[in-house]
Structure 1
Amino acid sequence: MAFELEGLYIFWSITIVILLCATYVYVNDRALTQIPSRAQAVSPNRWTKEQLEQVATKVSKSPFSVKEKLPPKTGRRYIVTGGSGFLGGWIIQQLLERGESPENIRNIDIRPSNRRDFASGPASKVAFFSVDLTSVEQVKAAFSAPWPKLGNNQSEPEITVFHTAAIIRFYERHPSLVPLSAKVNIDGTQNVIDASLAVGASVLVSTSSTSVVEFASRLLLWPWEKESKHFVSVVRDDSPLPKRVEEFISVYCYTKLEGENLVNAADKKVGSSGKILRTGTLRPGSTIFGPGADSFEYFIQQGGMPSFFANMVQNFIYVENCAQAHLCYEQRLVELSQGSSNPDIGGQAFTITDPGQAPMWNDMYAAIRHFTDGGFKATSVSPTVVLFIAYSMEVYYLTRHFLCSSKLPLLPHIGKMLPALKGDLLNLQPPTLGLSLMHIIVDDSRARLPPEKGGLGFNGMYTTLEGVYRCCDEFKRNGSLRLNFLKAGFGHGK
């Protein structure tokens, strides 16, 4: 009898625990997936089937000339760090599209481009320099390498630097991990600034991220809490900035802001040749996507993705719009260096995003499904369950990291015996969810102002919906823009 009572006690204890856990998951999921009225207000309309069909017809049958949407050719020399990457590659293509000579463009990256459109045509003639940005000597050597000889009576062109290179470890948040991102995002950025000054560059435009202004939030809520702190984040140029590492969503965000500050502080510094360097940074928001984006192309190829943030309202920026904004900022800085009377916008950070209403991720899924003829499906999963898994992954990741970096005997050997997290498991850590489970509203109204009013005169070529169509259409017709690509988790393309 006692044995039976003990068995019943254990059974009901386990049942109650399971019910309590299930209830918590339900309540927390409801809080994390809701759409507050202030987010609904900026995104009241969902994309309809008619809109999707209209966009497909418009973009496919009435394409415009990209060249007409870009600032005019300058004849300057261009150094693009990260030119083999996603955004950097598109900046190079737009420079070529508007008529810049491939001989005047230099791609500085750790490895050559693996894009199809770099294998032939003008892009194949762009000089590539294999460079580790953490090496002062390598960066200076690549920047100062001789350019092709000029013709008779040709003066030396001015130099513009586009700094897009970064290490994107968005899954880390522990302060001890800062050096892993800082060596490229901070020290490497300083190396680029120093090399720019050394070769007499007159313009430096750097790529930052809207994530530098987004605060970390606790996502496992108390049952009585209605939403997480910073659940709806409105991102503007003058948004308050996190200060301590722990306030940032990840150490990547912290290091990107530090790099941004270095670039902006270098504005109006005089280089070794006596030329004045004008600088500025752009904060794309919030996810950069388009042909060549590993994450989007991977999920299109796989025919779907798991999603725990389908209801999140977030602005996006299509990669060609993002590249265009970099050329707009360059144009403004060149004009200032030539004596323009427009307001001085050097040494500043501008937020940029696609024109039009911010969509929900559900809108993105519906559009991808439509443009791939039903070949894509987003499978809903519980964000709270994913959070529990993410915290477990983080504990394992940090345990292995601290063991491997320990100075005590045997501990590093034990750490190396533990398999390293890779792929989706590596990405599946709390900072990744912190970026996903937020309504991120990006206000780039200042960047859209005309130059005479202190803006960039930026107006994206494509809406987000048009960008999704271009991405899907390119993949359907030609496959990935990259000859090979690595998947990146949860659609983050920063």
Structure 2
Amino acid sequence: MAVDLSLWLALAAALPLLVYLYVRANDAKISRLHPAALIHSPDRWTADDVRRTAAEVKLKAENVQGGAPASLFSQDELPPKTGRRYIITGGAGFLGGWIVLHLIARGEDPRRIRIVDIRRPVRQDLLEGPAANVDFCKADIADSAAVEAAFAKPWADTEDGPEPETTRNASLQPYSDGVNVKGTENVVAAAHKIGALPSSTLPQDDSIIPQHHEDFFSNYAVSKWKAEQVIRRADRTSSGAHTLRTGAIRPGNGIYGPGGDLLLELYLIRGETPSWIWDSIQSFIYVENAFVVADAGPAPTYGEVYRGMMDLTGGAVKFLWLSSTAILGFAVLIEQYYLLRHALVRAAPPLAKLVPPLSGDVVYLQPSIFSLTQVHLIFDDSRARRAPEDGGLGWNGRVTTLEGMCKTVQEFERSGGLARRRAVAGNKTPDHGFQIARAEKTVEEVIEKLGIHTQDKPQVAMEVSY
């Protein structure tokens, strides 16, 4: 009996060491760049590469003529003016705002551009110059009557012309479908009613799209796929006297750049960010490249981006290395707690009151984010770069991730370190597309509560509302 007790005590004492050794061994395996990924991205950034590119980007920005404010593209690099009317749903936000600025920069009349969004623009570049003359209609795209009214509103110009969340449990899918799916259906219906003009079509390829709910990384991705089906079913349908042409572009990753992104600019705002994805090679997408799926050139690792931002800011931005294996274990516990409470809410509400809900951003640290971040994601956008007559978009997204990162840092510093205000409208679901940023914030809060580091955070005068 004494021998058995001693054995169990020895095993209990050795368990922490075994867990530690397992975590270290698994992290070492994860940190190795796989040969298959290195074929597509063989070279790593150096400090000289970062400094040289930053100087080139700064000089290029000074010489850009006729482009949008803070743009890396001159007017002659943009598509030609069409003279049509444009309705931009979500135009007050980050990507939508850049679409508005590019339309104006290529010569479109701002009076023939309309923003439909739940909040007015707060970005300074949308409140000054020609962009200040863009029409705005407040509407929740989940409200079909509001969307129809916004699309049917008379135009100010008098010329005759053509009109233009982290959880992955299937039972919680309806929480993600409200804006992404219902909103898309409302936009398509409103476009039909006003007789929207045809546009170019895109090649369709479902060969790499998951076929079952459990194959998607989260409910957010499922809702986006459902919305895409709505768009594609509307192609070649009647739109007044015209035939409506529709298409969907799948960005290769989260979009970053000046104007309020929730990736690189958020790192600049925080000052210090913990991360466990240093060695993941990923295709990034600079906001002005957003129409061609991914940035030009080889994909970098997150670690290269981190080190580049630290170099460019002189150490004002810092990144803390964390064990990806340990964070994944923590995320599994959070997911199980989250699902347990939802099950109790549905089956036994009195018991659910004994299990407090997860508060703050901790809910975003769930295993689904590892399906996007703890893997090498390299996208081929060669078909999207083809000429329209060959089934492509004819758009030259020439900015590399190194250039885009340098531009993002420079614009942030040019504004005096005050990020542009960003309103992410309608994202009430816990699987918002930028959950990695919130998950990192969650880990940062946990670290601070444990007292691992106590460096004061910079106070930034800005508003980020979700």
TM bin (shorter chain): 0.7 to 0.9
Letter paired with 1:296? L
Please show how residues 419-438 of structure 1 align to structure 2 within 5 Å: 419-423=357-361, 425-438=362-375
1:41-52 aligned at under 5 Å gives the runs 41-52=39-50
Q: Are the aligned partners of 1:355 and 1:459 in contact in 2 as well (CA < 8 Å)?
A: no
Q: 1:319: how far off?
A: 0.3
Residues 7 and 248 from structure 1, CA distance in 2 versus in 1: closer, same or farther, beyond 3 angstroms? same
**Of 392, 400, 423, which residue of structure 1 is paired with 2:341?**
400
- Return the offset for 1:14: 1.5
In structure 2, C-alpha distance between the alignment counterparts of 1:469 and 1:204, rounded to whole Å? 34
Question: Which residue number corresponds to residue 249 of structure 1?
Answer: 217
Unaligned 5+ runs, structure 2: 66-73, 425-431, 440-466
Q: Does 1:375 align with 2:313?
A: no
Structure 2: distance between partners of 1:437 and 1:205: 36
1:233 maps to none
Give the Cα–Cα distance (whole angstroms) in 2 for the partners of residues 191 and 105 of structure 1: 19
Q: Which residue of 2 aligns with 1:410?
A: 350
* Separation (CA, whole Å) in 1 of partners of 2:200 and 2:25: 45
Match in the other structure for 1:176: 171
* Among candidates 22, 25, 38, match of residue 24 of structure 1: 22
Q: Which structure 2 residues correspond to residues 229-248 of structure 1 after superposition, within 5 A?
A: 239-248=207-216
- 1:262-281 correspondence to structure 2 within 5 Å: 262-271=230-239, 273-281=240-248
**Structure 1 Cα separation of the partners of residues 35 and 257 of structure 2:** 30
For 1:366, give the aligned amino acid.
R
Given that 1:365 and 1:378 are in contact with CA atoms closer than 8 Å, whether structure 2 keeps it comes out as yes
The amino acid across from 1:380 in the alignment is W
Deviations 1:196-239 (A, max 9, x none): 111111247999xxxxxxxxxxxxxxxxxxxxxxxxxxxx9564
Question: Residue 378 of structure 2: SS of its match in structure 1?
Answer: strand
- The equivalent of 2:332 in structure 1 is 391
1:68-87 C-alpha deviation (Å, 9 max, x unpaired):
21111111111111112211
Q: Among 183, 186, 191, which residue is 1:188 paired with?
A: 183
Alpha-carbon distance between aligned partners in 1 of 2:161 and 2:169, rounded to the nearest angstrom: 47
Gapped regions of structure 1 (runs ≥ 5): 160-168, 208-235, 326-350
| Aligned pairs, number | 418
Structure with greater proportional strand content: 1
Q: Could you tell me how far apart the structure 2 residues matched to 1:173 and 1:93 are?
A: 35
Question: Hey, what's the Cα distance between the residues in 2 that align with 1:240 and 1:130?
Answer: 37
Task: Map residues 19-418 of structure 1 onto 2, 5 A cutoff.
Answer: 19-63=17-61, 64-65=64-65, 66-150=74-158, 154-159=159-164, 169=165, 171-203=166-198, 239-271=207-239, 273-291=240-258, 292-322=260-290, 325=291, 352-404=293-345, 406=346, 408=348, 410-411=350-351, 413-414=353-354, 418=356
Query: In the aligned structure 2, how far is the partner of 1:257 from the partner of 1:280?
Result: 13
1:342 is matched with none
Q: TM-score, normalised by structure 2?
A: 0.83
Separation in structure 1 between the aligned mates of residue 199 and residue 357 of structure 2, nearest angstrom: 41
Same amino acid, percent of matched pairs: 39
Q: Deviations over 1:352-382 (max 9, x none)?
A: 2111111111111121112212222221111
CA RMSD of aligned residues (A): 2.6
Deviation at 1:412, TM superposition (A): 5.8
How far apart are 1:414 and its partner, in Å? Answer: 4.8
- 2:32, 2:388 → 1: CA distance? 39
In the alignment, the residues of structure 1 paired with residue 251 and residue 177 of structure 2 have an alpha-carbon distance, to the nearest angstrom, of: 20
CA pair 248-456 structure 1, distance change in 2 beyond 3 A: same
Residues 110-141 of structure 1, C-alpha deviations (whole Å, 9 max, x = no match): 22222121232222222222212221111111
Q: What TM-score do you get using the length of structure 1 for normalisation?
A: 0.79
8 A Cα contact 1:109 1:132, kept in partner: yes
SS in 2 for 1:305: strand
2:406 to 469, 480, 487: 469
Separation (CA, whole Å) in 2 of partners of 1:204 and 1:179: 31
Tell me if the contact between 2:33 and 2:279 (Cα under 8 Å) persists in the aligned partners: yes
Q: Distance in 1 between matches of 2:265 and 2:79?
A: 29
Residues 180 and 223, structure 2, Cα contact 8 Å, conserved in 1 = yes
Distance 1:90 1:481, change over 3 A: farther
